[in-house]
A and B are shown apart, each in its own frame.
Chain A
Amino acid sequence: MHANVHVIGDAAGQANFKALHDPFWVRWSLVGVAVGFIVLFLCVPLGLVLYQAFSKGWQAYWTALAQPDAIAAMQLTLVVALITVPLNTVFGVAAAWAITRFEFWGKSLLTTLIDLPFSVSPVISGLIFVLMFGAQGWFGQWFSAHDIKVIFAVPGIVLATIFITFPFVARELIPLMQEMGSEEEEAALSLGASGWKTFFLVTLPNIKWALLYGVLLCNARAMGEFGAVSVVSGHIRGVTNTLPLHVEVSYNDYDVIGAFSSASILAGLAIVTLVLKSFLEWKQARV
């Protein structure tokens, strides 16, 4: 009797397993396709970048990175990110606040416009700035009369990067702030807190992880942007080349070590971003 029950239980267990799981070959071929894809399109290229960068040894790698042009490119990339990211953080918070807390005419238009940089090709975005501020552009005459260079200079690169990266922070915050509602803020106000105190003591702690996440993505894009910056920069070595542009210029000059050593810096940045991103996602999920 006892043995009987046991056998039935076992058979039932197996039936359950079959009912709830796909066959062995389906599961493993799907996993295989996914893993194969990642290896082929992510791991191999990343490995190749590092292999090429170090193909002539550490010495050559450091020498390539220590070139004045490479250092200038890194400095410019940092400067652009340092200007762009804080500005877009402020803009993103302000836009998310306006959209989720106020009713105003044109609100849905603003919501759509925030996504515009994602839907426009970066090259077009760059061209817009050339058309506006270039020598033949709308404001070009006025700027050249006042001896201000925008296109083929740092201001143009900053403008193009701001345009490309402004959706990131706002897009992270809008859904979160919509879901949270404004009751906590109203409660703070009713308790006598000023608008600023309400923002810093109530709103900011609630959105901080999403905000950091948005800032991180914004920063990654600001440092890695190629298309729009390429159009407005003019590729002047040591002056208007950001790191991605420096990679291209070096590669076109058959300076393989130079190109790949700079590329390895960008790849490293991507990996750091990825790690921070998963940390922030984990943090957000816990809040």
Chain B
Amino acid sequence: MSILLNNISKNFGKFAALYDVSLEIPEGELVALLGPSGCGKTTLLRIIAGLETPDFGRVLLSGEDKTEQHVSRRGIGFVFQHYALFRHMTVFDNIAFGLRVKPRKERPTEAFISKKVHALLELVQLDWLADRFPDQLSGGQRQRIALARALAVEPSVLLLDEPFGALDASVRKDLRQWLRNLHQELHVTSIFVTHDQEEAMEVASQVVVLNQGRIEQQGAPADIYDHPANAFVSKFIGQTNIFDLSETESNWLQRAGILAEKPQGIFAHVRPHHIDIVKAEEASGSPVTLKDWQHLGATIRVELFNPQHNGAGATLFAEMPNERFRELNLTKGDRVAVHIKQAHWFN
């Protein structure tokens, strides 16, 4: 089911949670609503679900206007951050709930329900937990049961509100992968909310970046990373070094290679992996001192101090493969030269 949002606005008292948001999501996509906390992403998800009503604007599912329709009739599946499993019911009864509350005419037989619940439990790989109660499960298990419960009614849209937010890091990594695979299997249009850009990039086929109730950019993860539409997106998606042309000595920038082409704005955003360093003696780049470095696994993050700059821009971050850093054979306090390969310009 495709989703179309037209000019959605929502205020809570004087706080504008969403301002004139329009968004189109084609059928079968796995979309991430990404933004800092308070940006309106959860409100937008709840408006699509019908758990919240917009002050202005329309919600269209498969081309039908569903703005006035009650949540129980929209045919959506909703997964909550804190699982919201029914605590007095077993896992089996939780998953069966959506089928059992159907009006008598549409309600399947108990035999059918039982078959379906076990199929779903197999899908989420937790068939052995059917008779447990939610408080006997781990966080990751609860979230998978919550997903199975939402899938039981065969929703045409699956909405997930920070689905991995309450889980610890390793479980979260596993579940991300698992959700991706599940989506490839089921192909149900899915939207999940997250404030974690890494999670959004890893899981989603489309990312929508929100900030202060507005959409900043929508696109495939690679698009957003390589071509951020504005300074906010650039800063929010991954780390950036920001050079303010009015505060940085142009000579320094010239030698760093950043002014090789004519500047296209006032601020230059440079990704850490677009900064290369060489030893000072063989240098044509701009001089800085090596302050410290951290191992991030396959890459090394290098902290550089720019003595000619006072203020926030004085520390630069560069990233490079481990081998490259080893070849350079540097120690703390060494003078190195910076060479900038690529920058995004903003005003």
Q: Give me the interface of A with B, judged by CB distance under 8 Å.
A: 183-184, 186-194, 197, 201-202, 205-206, 287
Q: Could you jot down 6 A-B contacts, CB within 8 Å?
A: A186-B78, A187-B146, A188-B97, A192-B73, A194-B72, A287-B88
Contacts of B85 in A (CB 8 A): 184, 187
A192 to B103, CA, bound (A): 9
Q: Which of A183, A184, A189, A192 contacts B102 (CB 8 A)?
A: A192
Q: Which B96-121 residues have a C-beta within 8 angstroms of A?
A: 97-98, 101-102
Residue pair B101, A201 in contact (C-beta under 8 Å): yes
Having A188-B86, A191-B98, one finds 10 other A-B pairs with CB under 8 Å, namely A184-B86, A186-B71, A187-B85, A187-B86, A190-B51, A190-B71, A190-B77, A191-B152, A197-B101, A206-B87
Distance of A195 Cα from B183 Cα, bound (Å): 31
CA distance A206 to B149 in the complex (A): 19
Shortest C-beta distance, A200 to chain B (Å), equals 10
A206 to B84, CA, bound (A): 13
Q: Top 6 closest A-B pairs, CB basis?
A: A191-B98, A183-B84, A190-B78, A193-B101, A187-B84, A205-B88
CA of A183 to CA of B149, assembled, Å: 14
Q: Check if B101 sits within 8 Å of A191, measured CB to CB.
A: yes
Give the complex CA separation of A191 and B98 in angstroms: 5
Q: Which of A190, A197, A206 contacts B88 (CB 8 A)?
A: A206
The residue of chain B having its C-beta at the shortest distance from the C-beta of A184 within the complex is B84
Q: How far is the CB of B18 from chain A (nearest CB, A)?
A: 17
Question: Quick one: given A191-B149, A192-B72, are A186 and B51 in contact (CB under 8 Å)?
Answer: yes
Q: What chain B residues lie within 8 Å of A190 (beta carbons)?
A: 49, 51, 71-72, 76-78, 150
A residues in contact with B80, CB < 8 Å: 183, 186-187
CB < 8 Å: which of B71, B73, B77, B86 contacts A202? Answer: B86
Q: A183-B82, A186-B51, A186-B78 are in contact. Are A193 and B97 (CB under 8 A)?
A: yes
Residue of B nearest to A187 (CB): B84
* B280 CB–A CB distance under 8 Å: no
Is B130 in contact with chain A by the CB < 8 A criterion?
no
B161 to A, closest residue via Cβ: A183
The minimal Cβ–Cβ distance linking A142 to chain B, given in whole angstroms, is 43
User: Known contacts A186-B78, A186-B80, A201-B101; is A191 also within 8 Å of B87 by CB?
Assistant: no
Bound together, the chains give a CA A24 to CA B76 distance in angstroms of 66
How far, in whole Å, are A189 and B76 apart by their CA atoms in the complex?
10
Q: Is the CB of A194 within 8 A of B49?
A: no
Closest to A183 in B: B84
Tell yes or no: B153 within 8 A of A by CB. yes
Please name all residues of chain A whose beta carbon is closer than 8 Å to the beta carbon of B71 when the two chains form the complex: 186, 189-190
Residues of B within 8 A of A191 (CB): 72, 77, 97-98, 101, 149-150, 152-153
| Residue of A whose beta carbon sits closest to that of B51 | A186
Min CB–CB distance A108 → chain B (angstroms): 15
A193 and chain B: residue at smallest CB distance? B101
Question: Shortest beta-carbon distance, B162 to chain A, in Å?
Answer: 12
**Contacting B101 at CB < 8 Å: which of A184, A194, A206?**
A194
- Which chain B residues have a beta carbon within 8 Å of chain A's beta carbons? 49, 51, 70-73, 76-78, 80, 82, 84-88, 97-98, 101-102, 146, 149-150, 152-153
- Residues in A neighbouring B146, C-beta threshold 8 A: 187
CB <8 Å contact, B98 and A192: yes
Chain A residues near B87 (CB-CB < 8 A): 184, 206
- B49 cross-chain contacts in A, Cβ below 8 A: 190
Chain A nearest CB from B145 CB (Å) reads 12
* Cβ distance B248 to chain A, nearest Cβ, rounded Å: 49
**Chain A residues positioned under 8 Å from B76 (CB to CB):** 190
Q: A197: which B residues are within 8 A, CB to CB?
A: 101
CA distance A16 to B77 in the complex (A): 58
Complex formed: what's the CA distance from A261 to B271 in Å?
A: 88
Contact A186 B84 (CB under 8 A): yes
Query: Which residues of chain B come closer than 8 Å to A201, judged between CB atoms?
Result: 86, 97, 101
Tell me the bound Cα distance from A187 to B79 in angstroms. Answer: 8
Which one of A188, A191, A206 has the highest number of Cβ atoms from chain B below 10 Å of its Cβ? A191
Task: Find chain B residues with CB under 8 A from A184 CB.
Answer: 84-87
Q: Could you tell me if B153 and A192 are in contact, using CB atoms closer than 8 angstroms?
A: yes
In the complex, A202 Cα to B87 Cα: how many Å? 9
User: How many angstroms between the C-alpha atoms of A187 and B98 in the bound complex?
Assistant: 10
Complex CA distance for A187 and B88, rounded to whole angstroms: 14
Q: How far is the CB of B101 from chain A (nearest CB, A)?
A: 4
Complex CA gap A201/B150 in Å reads 17
Interface contact B101-A187, CB-CB below 8 Å: no
CA distance A108 to B69 in the complex (A): 30
A81 to B101, CA, bound (A): 35
- Minimum CB–CB distance for B301 against chain A, Å: 39
Is the pair A189, B72 in contact by a Cβ cutoff of 8 Å? yes
Considering the chains assembled together, what is the distance between the CA atoms of A197 and B70 in angstroms? Answer: 15
Which residues of the partner chain A approach B72 to less than 8 Å between Cβ atoms? 189-194
Give min CB distance, A103 to chain B, whole Å: 9
State the Cβ distance, A81 to closest chain B Cβ, in Å.
29
Asked if A192 and B101 make an inter-chain contact with CB atoms under 8 angstroms apart, the answer reads yes
A164 to chain B: closest CB distance in Å? 33
Closest to A195 in B: B72
Contacts of B88 in A (CB 8 A): 205-206, 287
A202 to B152 alpha-carbon distance, docked (Å): 18
Query: Which of the listed residues A184, A187, A201, A287 has the most CB atoms from chain B within 10 Å of its own CB?
Result: A187
Complex Cα distance A78/B127, Å? Answer: 52
Q: Which residues of A contact B84 (CB under 8 A)?
A: 183-184, 186-187
**Least distance between B91 CB and chain A CB atoms (Å):** 14
Select from chain B the residue with minimum beta-carbon distance to A194.
B72
Give the nearest-CB partner of B95 in chain A: A191
**In the complex, what residues of A have CB within 8 A of residue B101's CB?**
188, 191-194, 197, 201
Nearest-Cβ distance from residue B245 to partner chain A, whole angstroms: 48
